Amino acid sequence: MRSQRLQTLSEEIAGCRRCPRLVAWREQVAEEKRAAFSDDDYWGRPVPGFGDPKAALVIVGLAPAAHGANRTGRMFTGDRSGDWLYRALFEAGFANQPESVDRADGLELNGAWVTAPVRCAPPANKPAPAERDNCADWFTSELDLLDSAVVYVTLGQYGYQSLWRYLGLGMELPRPRPRFGHGEEVSLSDGRTVLMSFHPSQQNTFTGKLTREMFAAVFSRAHQLAGSAT
């Protein structure tokens, strides 16, 4: 039943046209394309979450990349950030392969789900507050269905803040909100844990702000927490 409800929600998300600026941008990118992907049939729609409906781990990013998930139709697929994420998930035992190229590449997640608070690729990777708010009920509905989650990994401060708003709808949270920092974790009163990581964007990985070892350590800890809760 949960799988069916997530599938129905995914279909509803993919048909969303609430934000005129994002609709125009995602479709423009899908039409003009990047030269390296000129033969690809771009997705050009909102991108649903992806993974195991019984996930103990939920990963929260920011939004689809214009020539990544906006092209492939699967979160963190087809760009350098996804290369980092799925390699780390594979090494931690959450994925059956270390890379994600397109929706038909055979990738499967075991005990993990990947999502984002904004479902359309935004210009300059910067969604407006109103666009985030328009997406909020999709995010809430999805996370409500993922009720096996015991640990959340937030990739970047935007994902952390969005997740914190969601968690605050249903429980009393620590105040003030703990500051974002790579490798930090927050234990919630119901036994769940929030882990924080720098986003695996090229800005962070090319400069060395985020290293493979730093990233792997977050998912190793997530695996430990997810395993101890089952």
Q: Is the pLDDT of residue 118 over 90?
A: yes
Residue located via tokens 């990233």: 215
Rounded mean pLDDT of the chain?
A: 97
Q: What pLDDT does residue 227 have?
A: 87
Record the pTM: 0.96
Answer whether 93's CB lies under 8 Å from 223's CB: yes
Which H or E run includes 197?
strand 193-197
- Main-chain phi, psi angles of 153, to 5 degrees: -110, 120
Max Cα distance, the chain (Å): 50
Tens of pLDDT, residue by residue over 171-213, are: 999 999 999 999 999 999 999 999 999 999 999 999 999 999 9
What confidence category does residue 229 fall into, taking pLDDT thresholds of 50, 70 and 90? low
Strands (E), 100-173: 112-115, 151-155
Q: Which domains are present in the chain?
A: 2-228 (3.40.470.10)
Which H or E run includes 57?
strand 57-60
Q: Is the pLDDT of residue 142 over 90?
A: yes
Helix 2-14, helix 129-145: angle, nearest 10: 160
